[in-house]
Structure 1
Amino acid sequence: MGKKKEVLLLSRRRMMVIAVLLFFILTADSKSFRNTKNDSGGQVLYPPVQLHMQGDHVVVDNGIFRITIASPEGIVTGIRYNGIDNILNDHKEKNDRGYWDVNWSDPSDVKDNLDKLTGDQLDVIANDENQVELSFKRYWTLSRKDSDVSLNVDKRFVVLRGSSGFYSYGIFERQKGWPDVDIYQGRIVFKLQDKLFRYMAVSDERQRVMPTFEDRERGEALDYPEAVLLTDPSNSLLKGEVDDKYQYSAEDKDNRVHGWICSDPPVGFWMITPSNEFRTAGPIKQDLTSHAGPVTLSMFFSTHYAGIDLRIKFRDGEPWKKVFGPVFIYLNSVTTEDNPISLWADAKEEMFQQTESWPYDFPHSSDYPRAHQRGLVTGRLLVGDVELARANSAFVGLAPPGEIGSWQQENKGYQFWTQTDDEGYFTIKNVRPGFYNLYAWVPGYIGDYMHHSVVNVLQGSRIRMGTLVYEPPRNGPTVWEIGVPDRTAAEFYVPEPNPTLMNQLYASQRTEAFRQYGLWDRYTDLYPDGDLVYTVGVSNYETDWFFAHVNRNVGNKTYLPTTWTIFFDLEDVTIGNYTIRLALASANAAEVQVHINNSKDMLPFFTTGLIGRDNAIARHGIHGLYWLYSINVLHSQLRAGRNVMYLTQTRGLGPFRGVMYDYIRLEGPSRSQK
């Protein structure tokens, strides 16, 4: 949609709001309205926000929409907007429509518990004509040990005057001495009217008409519960497709707005996440967005695409406090003459506005610092590899102090990330006061950077880091390489899916082809008589290197390990140590063993050992957590002429055990060794 059309759309929306509010303008004292300038400099008048206490629920109405929240539980049971009495699915129980929840377990018990964090008391934090902020609290006690996660929970909902949507944020707290606990997932969930909301949008390219929950129930279960083959959907155009919520995952850096569109009346429901500071594991952590149901989520933390390493683990009475959100639940509409799909463009525009407004100035919690209470960190990053170069589009971030690369498994504190410009300059804005390490990684180079000293960000501070130089791991010149060091397997060969197990959304999207179901079994189809063989200098990794090193399907639900072979030629062998750089983009209950020039040795030349629980192969990811190994090779183990490297993924027993390679490089001896 062009810029002019977007402006027209916004203007129409504002005109609709004004028309709806004429009644208020004619019947109320004009002084009771907040005056707000619109884009053309005129005044738009909005009615005051009103709070109605109704015993077992509260209603907040700002004249644009009305939200009903169960009290004191703090669960959203109804949203009235643009002629729809309840956008949420009122066929579901009241505690299953709009809620916060966490999954947790006692470390001494493997049982997985779901806690919807229902409140015990309601506090009205703000209640005036411009803002209502409600707090639904629950305080943990030892008597709750077996039923509730050991957290104090404060769930907040905020409605502002003139806002076509509401905000929600939560404050989780543990006190010193509380029992051990593991927390796996935390999120906010909204389940919408399935008869109304059938069109889902996650990005410009990833949007489509979706199946219903009933369509999935009538479908054929596949290799795991989330994946279903639609055999008798209500929309016949979806018959024969696979639906799986993980096909709509996104990296956090791209997961800023997603949601649903109703065509009659044309209404949109959107989850907008204006900041990633409260999310875990850095900017490329992947997580769920919206999926069939219809369901819309804001995932604050999870073990998805990372495994048990991303659980929040509390031991020995560790205290903790963290604010999650605010996120913005946005409602929009157009006239019946407009294309409902245009609501997506408006939702993106709203996302940009909400992002620009971060940090917000309206939350009343003292645990949420305003803009003037935050700091700023600037600097420039260069890369010193073969030669000094600008770190173009590098990811630079502040995360709690740790070790090199520890940010990708960090899950208790806040993280603040940005990307460098073409010259390597970076600015990290709106940093909460605290102690951080400065981390970075640069596409095109292996490894991670960490600044040698801790960065202490104070309220209102402006910290100049100066020019920083990242020296990636390197012992000698590159002899050969396979792939691109970018922490994903995206550059390798992603096969066409089984034609009976397709999601048509990705049929023509090659950059998203890895999201198709069942690609793990396509390896066996493509290599029926033997495993992958790659010849350096002859083969092309874009077509000849399968994107995931998986097991071979030999039938009867039996999977066997596979060995990939790399042939490479050396004109001569230089005296000194060679180095293999083995970078993995993903690992799931896998072990990679390396043999050189003899695959029959009982002991491997190198092994990763059993690593990884990210499950990215099954969940249609192109990466999970990043692993980097540096393997020393004596010159006596190589020979002039043809050499062979064998990569064996030794762990069979299932289709999802395997790795994705990011990049492999052989380095020659350094000049100092010659």
Structure 2
Amino acid sequence: MALARTASHGIIFVAILTNFACSDDLRPAAGAAGVTVHVGLEYVVLDNGIVQLTLSKPEGSITGVKYHGVDNVMEVKEEDGGGYWDIVWNPSNRDSGIFDIILGTEFDVVQQDANQVEVSFRTQWNPSHGGKLVPLNIDKRFVMLRGSSGFYTYAIYEHLQGWPEFNLGETRVAFKLRKDRFHYMAIADNRQRIMPMPEDREAGRSQKLGYSEAVRLTNPINAALRGEVDDKYQYSSENKDSLVHGWISSDPSVGFWVITPSNEFKSGGPVKQDLTSHVGPTCLATFVSSHYAGDDILPRIRNGEYWKKVFGPVFIYLNSASTKSDLKLLWEDAKKQARVEEGSWPYKFPASKDFQKSEQRGSVSGRLLVVDETANKDYVNGNAAFVGLASPGEAGSWQKESKGYQFWVRADAKGMFFIQNVRTGVYKLYAWVPGFIGDYKSSVNITITSRNHINLGNLVYRPPRDGPTLWEIGIPDRSAAEFFVPDPYPYYINRLYVNHPDRFRQYGLWERYTDLYPDHDLMYTVGISDYKKDWFYAHVTRKHGQASYQASTWQIKFRLNSVHRKGTYKLRLALASAVLSELQVRFNNPTAQPADFTTGLIGRDNSIARHGIHGLYWLFSIDVDSSWLLEGDNVIFLTQTRSETPFQGVMYDYIRLEAPA
């Protein structure tokens, strides 16, 4: 461990010796003797002189983390310890999920020397378990390195051919910290604050709101939080933004951080959202979940299927400061350490042969160009495109994929991309480009082998287009953030998100629609209205009375000086989210039966209730018969027909009407 004390602040920063060398004046002050492991009858203790990790044996739950004079930073409960791996699953013939904490039944020290200790807690399935245990072999690993201010954990899940079918609803690692010490939470530079206590969510101190995760604090222990809403989904993040998050104790000044150096083992791609840290105080590393996507994303493991996947490693990092005034510096240090971990991926130390090291992996490079036919026949650089490798499927299938691994990068301004450290296997190359609708998919499968680099050269994406743009609403970026997000009810405020770029994370915004449109639904006039001010961020139900809701119909008014009677127009309708909705489209006749187009029942991403501003992306290309259109004034009627709850609706990404080619 290297200790560096600054003259002005006195903060202690911890450097991992395996990642970079120390100068002569920064020699390790602790942990010089290396890593030790003590195996007792009921506990296993890993210690490197900086952090001491205690695990139950053979279960493998975290019962203690000793650091910087704090005997245990974990809030230990007898049934699960302070930290644990868990899983939600169900047999294929059962709808409801089964929640299990993953407890090992066998223990081994798989590697031990002065520089590294790795321990394994395994559970193996057999037919005698019947439907009581998830049909998986699970091997949980914990790793401690010399000089490292923390520890790593990862797991290997394996389903053998012939074993029962099941659906995997969620799996993650959860850490419950001491509530008497950890009160300050940080998940981004502009998303950190003093948090409520867990007791504040209980009866007598809070009011339950429209769904179970959200409460209004009526009598919190910290009176400064009175009147605020607490909801763990207000702190969700996209995979690409979840490199580090955690909590800070003010006395002593200690930080506890979950660092996820790669998203290759997470489900749903770079913009899939999930929980991070929340009241508890709780830290999560979530690998598979239906959050902001629905059940379509969940792995369905079938009887004849062999499946194996490595989740992690993730790094649990602890740091400390000399005074309470240094709390923000702990966050800055955690970000620096996260970049170190990210730069060290794939790690060299995991002992499992199932975790591929750098020399076992391959890479892919190329350049993505865009040709938006009719609008512009010139090649355009795929500037800032999301480019990734995922399991073979249809265009856009990556956002519902979770059995395999995914590898994503952002292209540069010229559309150049380089995807390195890809596990061996067969993939498709997928991409989407901000500013253009639709998804790119490579025409052939891409086979990655060890130490091999594939240069794909120039790739051309031709986004869907039949004719020139007559008008458009929004920005094709798979988010509704550019539309009008109302001010929250003062009664339901979260002060963190006042005057914040993520103003959509306030509770109850969906009900502001009825307030803003009390007598009629939204009407938007092309060429006059401004979507930043006049297009509500979500097409939701209208509140009727105290407990019922009605379908709502939005109108887009536009003018055509002439109509091409021999051609077919095209309406491009891109959705950023859908929640148990059916969107019907009618041209110039609001009562036409059947509707000119319907999506049918779509979506379970629940992004409206969970403040997500987007869920799964949907693109509908609608043929518009010229007989539906009028010379002069026209109206498109958009009706979201499902209205059982206030949370049903869609979020629009982008709408465009094209003339015939």
Which category describes the TM-score, using the shorter chain as reference length? over 0.9
Measure how far apart 1:35 and its partner are. 13
The residue aligned with 2:206 is: 219
Q: Does the alignment pair 1:534 with 2:524? A: yes
Measure how far apart 1:529 and its partner are. 0.5
Q: Name the SS for the 2:161 alignment partner.
A: coil
Paired letter, 1:266: S
1:159-215 deviation digits (Å, cap 9, x = unpaired): 000000000000000000111111110000000000100000010000000001101
Q: Name the SS for the 1:303 alignment partner.
A: coil
Name the CA shift for 1:39/1:418 in 2 (closer, same or farther; >3 Å): farther
Q: Separation in 1 of the partners of 2:186 and 2:382?
A: 33
Q: Separation in 2 of the partners of 1:224 and 1:147?
A: 30
Name the CA shift for 1:17/1:188 in 2 (closer, same or farther; >3 Å): closer
Name the CA shift for 1:54/1:664 in 2 (closer, same or farther; >3 Å): same
The residue aligned with 1:574 is: 564
Q: Separation in 1 of the partners of 2:98 and 2:441?
A: 37
Measure how far apart 1:490 and its partner are. 0.6
* Cα pair 1:253 1:276 within 8 Å, conserved: yes
Runs of 4+ in 1 over 4 A off after TM superposition: 5-12, 33-36, 39-42
Match of 2:36 among 27, 47, 50: 50
Measure how far apart 1:112 and its partner are. 1.8
* Pairing of 1:9-408 with structure 2 (within 5 A): 12-14=11-13, 37-38=21-22, 43-44=27-28, 46-90=32-76, 92-217=77-202, 218-336=205-323, 338-385=325-372, 386-387=376-377, 388-408=379-399
Q: Name the SS for the 1:543 alignment partner.
A: helix
Q: Separation in 1 of the partners of 2:172 and 2:45?
A: 23
Farther-moved stretch of structure 1 (560-569 vs 634-643)? 634-643
Match of 1:549 among 520, 533, 539: 539
The residue aligned with 1:481 is: 472
Name the CA shift for 1:406/1:41 in 2 (closer, same or farther; >3 Å): farther
1:515-543 deviation digits (Å, cap 9, x = unpaired): 00011111001101110000000000000
Q: Separation in 1 of the partners of 2:247 and 2:79?
A: 21
Q: Separation in 2 of the partners of 1:315 and 1:337?
A: 53
Gaps of 5+ in 1: 19-32
The residue aligned with 2:555 is: 565
Q: Separation in 2 of the partners of 1:440 and 1:341?
A: 37
State the TM-score, normalizing by the size of structure 1.
0.94
Measure how far apart 1:96 and its partner are. 4.1
The residue aligned with 1:666 is: 657
Gaps of 5+ in 2: none
Q: Separation in 2 of the partners of 1:36 and 1:624?
A: 39
Q: Separation in 1 of the partners of 2:7 and 2:563?
A: 69
Name the CA shift for 1:337/1:74 in 2 (closer, same or farther; >3 Å): closer
State the TM-score, normalizing by the size of structure 2.
0.96
Which structure carries more helix by proportion? Answer: 1
Q: Separation in 2 of the partners of 1:126 and 1:653?
A: 56
Q: Separation in 2 of the partners of 1:64 and 1:433?
A: 36
* Cα pair 1:36 1:43 within 8 Å, conserved: no
Q: Name the SS for the 1:126 alignment partner.
A: strand
* Cα pair 1:37 1:44 within 8 Å, conserved: no
Measure how far apart 1:7 and its partner are. 7.5
Paired letter, 2:468: P
Name the CA shift for 1:35/1:548 in 2 (closer, same or farther; >3 Å): closer
Measure how far apart 1:472 and its partner are. 0.2
Measure how far apart 1:336 and its partner are. 1.9
Measure how far apart 1:156 and its partner are. 0.2
Q: Name the SS for the 2:28 alignment partner.
A: strand
Name the CA shift for 1:317/1:450 in 2 (closer, same or farther; >3 Å): same
- How many residue pairs match? The answer is 649
Paired letter, 1:100: W
Q: Name the SS for the 2:163 alignment partner.
A: coil
Q: Name the SS for the 1:339 alignment partner.
A: helix
Match of 1:611 among 599, 602, 618: 602
Q: Separation in 2 of the partners of 1:297 and 1:398?
A: 26
Measure how far apart 1:17 and its partner are. 9.4
Name the CA shift for 1:563/1:35 in 2 (closer, same or farther; >3 Å): closer
* Cα pair 1:211 1:235 within 8 Å, conserved: yes
Q: Separation in 1 of the partners of 2:103 and 2:571?
A: 53
* Cα pair 1:382 1:468 within 8 Å, conserved: yes
Q: Separation in 2 of the partners of 1:43 and 1:261?
A: 26
Measure how far apart 1:122 and its partner are. 0.5
Paired letter, 1:186: T
Q: Name the SS for the 1:44 alignment partner.
A: coil
Paired letter, 1:37: A
Q: Separation in 2 of the partners of 1:268 and 1:284?
A: 27
The residue aligned with 1:27 is: none
* Cα pair 1:34 1:47 within 8 Å, conserved: no
Q: What is the aligned-residue identity percentage?
A: 54
The residue aligned with 1:23 is: none
Q: Separation in 2 of the partners of 1:34 and 1:487?
A: 40
The residue aligned with 1:26 is: none
Match of 1:503 among 487, 490, 494: 494
Name the CA shift for 1:602/1:334 in 2 (closer, same or farther; >3 Å): same
What is the RMSD computed on CA atoms of the aligned residues?
1.8
Q: Name the SS for the 1:630 alignment partner.
A: strand
Measure how far apart 1:78 and its partner are. 0.5
Measure how far apart 1:310 and its partner are. 1.3
The residue aligned with 2:514 is: 524
The residue aligned with 1:622 is: 613
